[in-house]
Every structure is written in C-alpha cells, then in structure tokens.
Structure 1
Amino acid sequence: MKKRTIKSPLSRILTLALFSLLVMGACKGKKKVVAAPEPAPVEEVKPTPPPPPPAPTPSAEEVAVGKLENYFNSIANSSNLDAANRTIQEASGMFSNSNTPVLIVIHEESGIKDYDEPTTIDKYLNYLKDTKKNLNFISDIRLDNNGKVSELELRRKK
C-alpha cells in the first residue's frame, strides 16, 4: 500500500481550508429559504359600461294616440252618462274643432283604402257612449300647427 504523506504544513492548512469551505458551502444550501413577501393583490379595474342611450321621447302624434285611445276606452266603458259626457268634453279639447273628420277604413287592397261614411269626432265620441263598444283603433292621426288633432283615421280591431 502506498502511504500518503503531506510534505509541508502549508499543504495541510490549505487542505483543511478547502475542506472547511466545502463544508460551509454545503451548510448554507440547507438553510431555510425565506419567501419574499407577496405583493399586494392588484384590483382589476373593470371598465364601466357606457350609460344606456336615453329613452327615445315619443312624438306628439304618439302621445296624442295614447291619450285618445284611453279616452275612447274610458267613454265606451263608463258606468254612467255623466262620466261619459265629462270624458267626451276632455277628449274634445284635443281636437281643432268639433267637426274634425273621422275616417274609418273598412277595406284596403294594394294601398287603396275604402272608408265607411265620414263622420265627425263629436258624432264618433257620442257613438262610443251609446254603443259602449270601442271596436276601432287609431291607424293615422294628423295634427295642426297648434298640436290639435285635425284628422283621424281608424281601423277595425281584429
């Protein structure tokens, strides 16, 4: 067997130093790793949806049609003559005069309309009061410059 000898004390010191460095390096690797603190959660900023478009405002004709339909139903369904007469007076205020024409379409083909005998709004409102039936709906309305109804076209409800 071969015997190893270290020739100088300097070699021995260097060997010990190298050995201790290796041991020290191994110990550092076994140290507990401290986790870095987690960054604060970032809040997601969701873009706000655009506001809904404003509701379209109804035209003067649409408003007048709604009011007149209510008046017609109220007159036809009134419980007594006084209530019907008061409603007729209110509804008459929406027309340019009491002789405003009311046309009732009885047939239409290829854009050509056939009308029942023309009547006036005054006669039509009293007809609703007498028959207690509202069988027609407003299909066309014309307003004058003052916003009053100058002509009314009705059709039979189906």
Structure 2
Amino acid sequence: MKKRTAKSTLSRVLTIALFGLLALGACKGKKKVVAAPEPAPVEEVKPTPPPPPPAGPSAEEVAVGKLENYFNSIAGSSNVDAANRTIQEAKGMFSNGSTPVLIVIHEANGIKDYDEPTTIENYLNYLKDTKKNLNFISDIRLDGNGKVSELELRRKK
C-alpha cells in the first residue's frame, strides 16, 4: 500500500473543496429564469367611417303619402265644396285627368284580376260620393316629371 502524505491529503481536500464550490455555484445558476412577457402585438386601429346618412323617402313614397291623405280627406269631407277643392289639388299630382286607376280584386299565383279600369278623376269623385276610402295604394308609377302616370289600388282588409 501506498503511504499518504500531507501533500496528497491537502490536494484531495482542495480538489473536493473546488468541486463543492463549483457545485454550489452551479446551483445558483440553475434558478428558473422567468422570461419577460412579450409585448402584445399592436393592432392598427382604423377609424370606422361614419354610417351613410339615412336615405330620405323616395319620390314614390312621398307621392303615396300625399295621395293617401288626399283620398282620406275627400272621403271624410263634410261638404261638397271642400271635397271639390281637395280633388282639384289632388289632380295636380297626376300627369292628366285620365290617368288610369286599376283596382285589384283578386290575385293568385302572381296573376292579378282587376275591377273595371277607371280614371283618377272618376275615382276621386267616387270617393266624394261614397264618403268611404276602402282601398290603399299598392303600386304607383311616376313619369319623368314626377307626376303619377298609373295607380294600382287594393281593398283594405
């Protein structure tokens, strides 16, 4: 067997101490590294365009509203003179006094059956005489000048 000397013992102790220090140093370095969170991607925010302004009523819708008022006014008129004045006013909305008025009496599978065709002048006088507005406007056609060129009515339910 070999003899141990103080020098070899000291060398061994220093070697063990060196490994111990390395081991302790390595433990400190093994701490969990918390990664900094990545910044959230910046979304490009585009300003939304303002909504388009609400469209005003079409010429047909305006004409229908006015005609319905005229029809109700003529039918509900208390005297003949007032009804005649309203009739003259209403006739101004039409291309002429003989503008056709069609009254739908039945419709099936897209096929319409009409009552005997009449003119706007006759229809307005009919409203004045009967004092009843039993129909509503279902279709209206305007000419290039914005005047009514054809009117289709249906029976109110």
Structure 1 length as normaliser, TM-score? 0.67
2:141 paired with 1:142: yes
Q: Report the equivalent of 1:105.
A: 104
- Distance in 1, matches of 2:80 and 2:51, equals 47
Matched residue, 2:76: 77
Residue 136 of structure 2: SS of its match in structure 1?
strand
Cα deviation for residue 117 of structure 1 reads 0.2
Which residue identity is paired with 1:75?
I
In structure 2, how many angstroms separate the alpha carbons of the residues matched to 1:69 and 1:91?
Answer: 10
Within 1, Cα distance between the matches of 2:65 and 2:119?
20
Structure 2: stretches of 5+ with no match in the other structure: 1-47
The 1-side partners of 2:120 and 2:70 are apart by 12
Report the Cα offset of residue 56 of structure 1. 1.6
Name the residue aligned to 1:96.
Answer: 95
Which residue is 1:130 aligned to? 129
Q: Report the identity percentage.
A: 87
1:64-103 Cα deviation digits (max 9, x unpaired): 0000000000000011111100000000000000000000
**What's the RMSD between the two structures over aligned residues?**
1.6
Instruction: State how far apart, in whole Å, the 2-side matches of 1:50 and 1:110 are.
Output: 44
1 CA distance for matches of 2:128 and 2:100? 18
For residue 140 of structure 1, report the CA deviation from its aligned partner.
Answer: 0.3
- Number of residue-to-residue matches in the alignment: 111
Task: Give the 5 Å matches for 1:2-151.
Answer: 53-151=52-150
Secondary structure of 1:145 counterpart: coil
Residues 3-33 of structure 1: per-residue CA shift (max 9 Å, x gap): xxxxxxxxxxxxxxxxxxxxxxxxxxxxxxx
Cα distance between partner residues in 1 of 2:127 and 2:141: 21
Q: Which runs of 4+ in 1 moved over 4 A?
A: 49-53
Structure-2 separation of matches of 1:51 and 1:77: 45
1:43 counterpart residue number: none
TM-score normalized by structure 2? 0.67
Measured in 2, the distance between the counterparts of 1:110 and 1:52 equals 39
C-alpha separation in 1, matches of 2:50 and 2:131: 46
Q: Give ranges in structure 1 of 5+ residues lacking alignment.
A: 1-48
The one-letter amino acid paired with 1:124 is Y
Secondary structure at 2:57 match in 1: coil
